[in-house]
Chains A and B, each alone.
Chain A
Amino acid sequence: GAVVSQHPSWVICKSGTSVKIECRSLDFQATTMFWYRQFPKQSLMLMATSNEGSKATYEQGVEKDKFLINHASLTLSTLTVTSAHPEDSSFYICSARYASGRETQYFGPGTRLLVL
């Protein structure tokens, strides 16, 4: 299967700071990348869909100004959690897809964020 990397794998930060998470597709060009958030023992909650060269599409209830997404190239998307607060602590996972229909999404290893 395709390989997707995420960096960092975990991060601890102070309340009020911003954190940037990178998602890279290593062996394919991803037309679309997705960002998810997952709380313990819960399902994957889609935050936004990111298409290269265009603005991200956010799911209802997700603050655009708080979770900034940039899809700079076909292999890189970034999620920046601005002015992080303890309630933003979670497991953030990205996925990448190079075409719809006959292809699936491949997930990165995830980033565990802890805001103190």
Chain B
Amino acid sequence: QQPVQSPQAVILREGEDAVINCSSSKALYSVHWYRQKHGEAPVFLMILLKGGEQKGHDKISASFNEKKQQSSLYLTASQLSYSGTYFCGTEGSFKAAGNKLTFGGGTRVLVKP
């Protein structure tokens, strides 16, 4: 079952912050975040594993609350380059190889000057 992302879209001014949420109805082992620019393939941002960890990359960070089956992506002091569609991909359980990800519907982010 597809995870639910919210909001569907957000418009920011450069320097502003935003939060993107990803919720699942099933227990999660991992959450993967990607950003896709128009006409391009998704680019990997970060992976969060079961255990409630939080990660960061530059001014983009994410948290994973396994009890709530939720993950949040934080865009801090947004830059123009942050514009794109963000997808979360979820994995329900650990598997030796080949586990597929189920992607959310995406959140469109537009950062304006």
Contact = CB atoms under 8 A, between A and B. Distances in A.
B interface secondary structure, majority: loop
A49 B41 contact: no
Contact of A106 (B29, B30, B44, B106): B44
B42 interface: yes
A51 interface: yes
Contacts of A44: 42, 87, 103
A24 B35 CA distance: 21
A1 B46 CA distance: 11
9 contacts: A34-B100, A43-B106, A97-B98, A100-B95, A100-B99, A105-B101, A107-B42, A109-B40, A109-B41
A87 to B, nearest CB: 21
Interface residues of B, number: 28
Given A43-B106, A44-B103, A102 B41 contact: no
Given A44-B87, A105-B32, A93 B103 contact: no
Nearest to A100: B99
Contacts of A31: 97-98
Interface in B57-113: 87, 89, 91, 94-106
Which range contains the number of A residues in contact with the other chain?
Answer: 20 to 34
A49 B98 contact: yes
A106 to B, nearest CB: 6
Interface of A is mostly: loop
Nearest to A6: B41
A46 B96 CA distance: 20
Contacts of A100: 91, 94-99
Contacts of B2: 43
Contacts of B49: 101-102
A27 B61 CA distance: 27
Contacts of B105: 42-43
B104 A43 contact: yes
